[in-house]
Chains A and B, each alone.
Chain A
């Protein structure tokens, strides 16, 4: 059996993750709704906030961290991220370039 302290820590960590995720969501929506930023600045800030929230979810909801025992999952996720970055980045670069040439 785990100690009550460890059990409380599990719940606390989940609540902390939920709080952080809520905060990031609210900031992202708030920036857009109240027109705090505009144009490119807003575009990249919203993307950055989304990325940060994904990290929060991986850490607190999916329990992926840098500890040795989670390494296999972490490596799989990082490799998939690389594949995704190449596919999405490559598609966008090629097609926007083509779009530019067709204009």
Chain B
């Protein structure tokens, strides 16, 4: 078996570490694994919020219930925005992994994909804020019932995570413009890509459990 300096999972996670030494590659792998540990503990937080949401469904205290709160149209567009942004981030990662010191073409393409990703993420957030404003307009605010509190906390926590990503991404672009694609930045880009894809997975759970179930009730 020929020794491969970088594990396939990392190679596909998208950054060009092929010329890195074995020690460097192992350091990157352990850094990225640490971020996985964070993501999974975050997944546990979301899971408890889902459990809270599940137990709150009947506790509407006369305020609007899930069926009244859920709007399937905006939820579908939000789903498409986030799914597509996950795809465009994947394209950015692939372009970053092809960056070569002789040509800037791949890096330019990667930055362009990241900008598209940022626009999609921001559009998602805008729609979500609009949803909450519409809800407040119809008297469905978090203080009305246990159910509305649980709904707001679950969807809101995901929204805050997306907001973190939307702030984090331009910071990475600034760092790229200022300092170039050095190793710490590569590792941070891997972390950001994992974070972004992870949030899309959480959103799958949200649209399956919250929005589609709400429309079914």
A49 to B37, CA, bound (A): 26
The 8 Å CB contact of A43, one of B44, B84, B100, B216, is B216
Query: Among A21, A64, A84, which residue has its beta carbon within 8 angstroms of that of B47?
Result: A84
Q: A28-B212, A88-B47, A88-B50 are in contact. Are A57 and B72 (CB under 8 A)?
A: no
B194 surroundings in chain A (CB, below 8 A): 62
Q: Is B33 an interface residue (CB 8 A)?
A: yes
Report A97 CB to chain B, min CB distance, Å.
Answer: 11
Complex formed: what's the CA distance from A49 to B198 in Å? 17
**Could you tell me which B residues sit within 8 Å of A by CB distance?**
4, 7-9, 12-13, 18, 33, 36-37, 40-41, 43-44, 47-48, 50-52, 54-55, 58, 72, 76, 79-80, 83-84, 86-87, 90-91, 94, 97-98, 100, 194, 197-198, 200-201, 204-205, 207-209, 212-213, 215-216
Q: CB < 8 Å: which of A64, A76, A87 contacts B37?
A: A76
- Is A92's CB under 8 angstroms from B212's CB? no
Q: Given A1-B100, A50-B207, 18 other A-B contacts at CB below 8 A?
A: A11-B91, A21-B86, A32-B72, A32-B215, A47-B208, A50-B208, A60-B90, A61-B87, A62-B197, A69-B7, A70-B8, A76-B40, A77-B36, A80-B41, A88-B47, A88-B54, A91-B55, A99-B55
Interface positions, chain A 48-79, Cβ under 8 Å from B, are: 49-50, 53-54, 57-58, 60-65, 67, 69-70, 72-73, 76-77, 79
Q: Are B90 and A46 in contact (CB under 8 A)?
A: no
Tell me the complex Cα distance, A58–B79, Å. 17
Classify the secondary structure of A's interface with B.
helix
Q: A72 contacts B98, CB within 8 Å?
A: no
Q: How far is the CA of A85 from the CA of B46 in the complex (A)?
A: 12
Q: CB-CB < 8 A to B201: which residues of A?
A: 54, 57-58
> Can you give 7 contacting A-B residue pairs, CB < 8 Å?
A17-B90, A32-B72, A57-B197, A57-B204, A63-B13, A91-B52, A92-B54
